[in-house]
Structure formats: C-alpha cells, structure tokens
C-alpha cells in the first residue's frame, strides 16, 4: 500500500486540495512516547491501586482521550493522574520526535500552512514537551484536553484549533493515530487523516475508513501544496 490512499487531485471526501491548516494529535503522531507512558502508568498503578499487572493494554486502546476520562472508562481511581503526570514529566527527556516530523513541520510552515496541536494531554504538559523538543515555535497553537469543555472524541478541541487559526473546516485536516482522533475530526467537519507510523491499531484505524491514510510523516506533504495568497 502506498503512503497515502489519496491518489487524485482531490481528497477522498471530494474537497479540492486547498488545505490551509493542519491539526495534529501529539502522542503517536508527532512524538514517540509509548514506552514513557507505559512506565508512568505502571508506576501510578502501583502507587494508587497496589500490586498486580497494570492494565496498560486496555489503557492503550483509549489513547487520544483525556487521562481522567480514561480512568473513568476503565473504572480506575482518578488519583492515578497525579503520579502519572509526575512521572511523565520526570521521564519526558526520553520522548523523541518521530523521524521526519521536524522537517515536515518546517516545510509545512514554509509552504504557508497554519499548524496546531490538539492533544489528550493537558495544555501545559504538551507545550512543555514540545518546547523541550525544540518545535513549539512551529505551531500556532497547542491545545490540551483540559482547555476545552469536551475533549476528544467530541469536536470541541478541533473546532477550538480552527477558531484560533481563523480557518474553516473545509480547508483543514486532523492527523491522528486513534479512533478518537478520527471521530473528533469528522464531528468537526475536517478531513480525517490516519497516521500509521506509530504503535497504533492499524486494523481498527482502517476499519474506521479515514479519509486519508498516511504511513510516513513526509507523505503528508503530498496533501499540502504551498498556500496561495487569499
């Protein structure tokens, strides 16, 4: 399969390729944080719940959602959030950008696109991580799930990004690696792009029939020609 399922001058939703804005999920799309999340979750589970095998596999199925929402869905104590966040900050130096992400972001900015992040993380934690990785200045806005009324899979966080970028849904896309990202994108009326270069459940993502499937960050450039002046 090619890097992208879009093979014509139009996206699979039928809209012309006139994208001016890209909204990215963070974990699993821009950054490889899987092992850090696993370690932070394991420590938090041991501190709050006690001995036993932490259900990280189930937790991983809900990535993209706000951490307290995942705890509610899984029936785990909300008190796990404090040690999870503490350990995530402590281990943040081990998180890396996926190969190709930094040049992708730089090229998109040079082409005139507006860029935002809409993440299941809190806003302060997401901005701290992106600043540490040296790419925070490449984004117009970074929005966390604690900064909207309803986090993903609701459309609020994507709509907030569009409002801040002064972009309409017809000229924007959401790039994510989880079903919650696709649901949020569709509810917001933007092109739903599945990013499959991380540790995502590929079969589930494909079964959800995203508008576009990408297998490398660089493939996104094929959907984003230079933005013409208005």
pLDDT tens digit string along 48-69? 999 999 999 999 888 889 999 9
If residue 159 lies in a helix (H) or strand (E), which one and from where to where? helix 156-165
Residues 90 and 106 in one domain: no
> In the listed set 65, 94, 123, which residue is the last one of a domain according to the structure?
94
Does residue 160 fall inside a structural domain? yes
pTM over 0.75? The answer is: yes
Whether the upstream peptide bond of residue 153 has omega within 30° of 0, thus cis, is: yes
pLDDT of residue 140 exceeding 90, the answer is yes
Does residue 60 share a domain with residue 174?
Answer: no
pLDDT band at 99 (very low <50, low <70, confident <90, very high): very high
Instruction: Examine the pLDDT at 1 and tell me if it is beyond 50.
Output: no
Which pLDDT score, from 0 to 100, does residue 183 have? 97
Residue 13 has pLDDT above 60, yes or no: no
- Domain assignment present for residue 184? The answer is yes
Residue 194 inside a domain? The answer is: yes
The predicted pLDDT at position 8 comes to 30
Q: Is 6 left (phi over 0), alpha (psi -120 to 50) or beta?
A: beta
At residue 16, does pLDDT exceed 80? no
Tell me the C-alpha distance between 22 and 115, whole Å: 5
Asked if 137 and 192 sit in the same domain, the reply is yes
- Determine the average pLDDT of the residues in 153-157: 97
pLDDT at 7 over 80: no
Rounded mean pLDDT of 76-80? 98
41 and 116 in a common domain: no
pLDDT per position as a tens digit, 104-139: 999 999 999 999 999 999 999 999 999 999 999 999
Instruction: Tell me which of 94, 112, 136 is where a domain ends.
Output: 94
Higher pLDDT, 151 or 5: 151
- Spell out the alpha helix ranges (H) of 24-153: 34-48, 56-61, 67-74, 81-90, 101-110, 123-132
48: domain range? 34-94
Mean pLDDT across the chain? 92
Same domain, 202 and 138: yes
Query: Is the pLDDT confidence value at 11 over 80?
Result: no
Tell whether 215 and 107 lie within a shared domain: yes
- Evaluate whether residue 2 is within a structural domain: no
pLDDT tens for residues 166-208? 999 999 999 999 999 999 999 999 999 999 999 888 999 999 9
CA–CA–CA angle 217, 92, 137 (5° rounding): 55
């Amino acid at each position: 399969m090619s890097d992208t399922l879009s093979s014509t001058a139009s996206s699979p939703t039928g809209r012309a390729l006139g994208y001016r804005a890209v909204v990215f999920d963070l974990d699993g799309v821009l950054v490889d944080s899987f092992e850090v999340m696993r370690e932070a979750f394991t420590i938090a589970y041991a501190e709050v719940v006690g001995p036993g095998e932490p259900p990280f596999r189930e937790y991983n199925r809900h990535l993209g959602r706000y951490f307290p929402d995942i705890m509610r869905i899984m029936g785990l104590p909300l008190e796990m959030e404090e040690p999870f966040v503490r350990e995530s900050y402590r281990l943040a130096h081990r998180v890396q950008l996926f190969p190709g992400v930094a040049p992708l972001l730089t090229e998109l900015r040079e082409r005139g696109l507006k860029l935002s992040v809409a993440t299941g993380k809190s806003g302060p934690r997401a901005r701290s991580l992106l600043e540490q990785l040296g790419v925070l200045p490449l984004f117009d806005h970074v929005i966390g799930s604690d900064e909207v009324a309803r986090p993903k899979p609701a459309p609020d966080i994507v709509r907030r990004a569009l409002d801040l970028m002064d972009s309409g849904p017809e000229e924007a896309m959401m790039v994510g690696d989880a079903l919650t990202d696709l649901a949020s994108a569709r509810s917001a009326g933007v092109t739903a792009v599945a990013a499959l270069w991380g540790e995502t459940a590929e079969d589930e993502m494909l079964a959800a029939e995203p508008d576009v499937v990408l297998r490398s960050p660089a493939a996104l450039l094929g959907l984003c020609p230079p933005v013409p002046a208005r």
